């Protein structure tokens, strides 16, 4: 597997090239990183596990790739192994990505091509993200989610464990999806992930309750609280949301 040879630029960015040399710098785990051509990464990027970065991608300062999930951390604690020397599946990023500063991408995350993130984005383990996806600043995507292609997640969106988003989905600023109908109150209650089909648009500050499916092409108004399924090509507005056929204008 190629090891990184780096050339530092005055800006602090580093252009990486495949190379057979092993870095001896403790801060960097270069043994488990596969780098495509013309990748630019800031020298403060941290790498855990086996990561892969596609060609022409840009990784900015203080990004963490392949961050170990809780189970992996507990395993590593038992063997007293340096986190940055552990061999496990890290983050896979396809070509032409831009990952902005302070993003944390966990192990098992797979990101398609032409994905753009804002700052302070968190993506938890075993989540898959398609192509041409925008992830806004301070957005959190929890583990085991599936995000389609041509999706736009604005700033401060929250997507919980197991959520499925189709293609061409839009979530406005601070939109929140939930998956736990009885938090704390009912022991061992199963999570109920929501599902948003292709072409769904959700307005700012809207809340999608656990287990809800929003059908293809449907819209959710800003600030709405959606408590039941929304059929395809319908509109949900209000608290709780009332559902009507989508107007011709939309």
CATH number of the domain residue 19 falls in: 2.160.10.10
Interval 82-96 mean pLDDT: 85
**All residues at 6 or more sequence positions from 228 whose CB lies less than 8 Å from its CB, including other chains:** 212, 243
Interval 152-161 mean pLDDT: 99
Report the alpha-carbon distance of residue 95 to residue 39 in Å, rounded.
9
Do 119 and 230 lie in one domain? The reply is: no
Do 101 and 22 lie in one domain? The reply is: yes
Question: Which residue among 92, 108, 137 closes a domain?
Answer: 137
Name the band, by pLDDT with cuts 50, 70 and 90, for residue 80.
low
Do 158 and 128 lie in one domain? The reply is: no
Q: Which domain holds residue 177?
A: 145-250
Do 182 and 121 lie in one domain? The reply is: no
CA distance readout (Å), 161 to 78, 144, 165, 177, 205: 27, 6, 12, 10, 19
Do 25 and 126 lie in one domain? The reply is: yes
pLDDT above 70 for 29: no
Pull the structure tokens for residue 154: 């604005």
pLDDT above 60 for 4: no
Q: What is the pLDDT of residue 81?
A: 61
Do 104 and 163 lie in one domain? The reply is: no
Mean pLDDT, all residues of the chain: 88
Do 195 and 163 lie in one domain? The reply is: yes
Interval 153-177 mean pLDDT: 99
- Residue 45 exposed, middle or buried by CB count within 10 Å (0-12, 13-18, 19+): buried
Share of the chain above pLDDT 90, in %: 72
The number of distinct structural domains making up the chain is 2
Interval 31-47 mean pLDDT: 87
As a residue count, the chain comes to: 250
Question: Which residue among 105, 137, 169 closes a domain?
Answer: 137
With H, G, I as helix, E, B as strand and everything else as coil, classify residue 67.
strand
Do 122 and 232 lie in one domain? The reply is: no
More confident residue, 229 or 181: 229
Candidates 133, 129, 130, 57; CA nearest to 96 is 57
Interval 195-218 mean pLDDT: 99
pLDDT above 80 for 199: yes
- pTM of the model as a whole: 0.86
Question: Which residue among 102, 137, 172 closes a domain?
Answer: 137
Name the band, by pLDDT with cuts 50, 70 and 90, for residue 209.
very high
Q: Are 182 and 161 in contact (CB under 8 A)?
A: no
């Amino acid at each position: 597997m190629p090891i990184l040879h780096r050339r530092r630029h005055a800006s602090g960015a580093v252009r990486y090239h495949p190379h057979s040399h092993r870095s001896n710098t403790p801060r960097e785990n270069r043994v488990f990183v596969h780098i495509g051509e013309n990748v630019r990464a800031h020298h403060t990027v941290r790498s855990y596990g086996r990561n892969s970065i596609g060609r022409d991608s840009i990784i900015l300062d203080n990004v963490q790739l392949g961050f170990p999930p809780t189970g992996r951390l507990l395993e590593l604690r038992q063997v007293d192994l340096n986190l940055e020397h552990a061999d496990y599946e890290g983050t896979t990023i396809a070509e032409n990505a831009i990952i902005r500063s302070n993003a944390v991408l966990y192990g098992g995350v797979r990101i398609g091509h032409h994905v753009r993130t804002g700052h302070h984005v968190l993506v938890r383990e075993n989540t898959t993200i398609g192509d041409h996806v925008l992830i806004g600043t301070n957005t959190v995507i929890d583990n085991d989610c599936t995000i389609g292609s041509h999706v736009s997640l604005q700033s401060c969106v929250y997507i919980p464990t197991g959520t499925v988003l189709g293609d061409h989905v839009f979530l406005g600023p601070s939109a929140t999806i939930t998956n736990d109908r009885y938090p704390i109150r009912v022991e061992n209650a199963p999570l109920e992930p929501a599902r948003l089909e292709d072409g769904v648009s959700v307005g700012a500050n809207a809340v999608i309750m656990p287990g809800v499916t929003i059908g293809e092409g449907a819209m959710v108004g800003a600030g709405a609280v959606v408590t039941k399924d929304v059929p395809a090509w319908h509109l949900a507005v209000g608290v709780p949301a009332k559902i009507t056929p989508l107007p011709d204008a939309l």
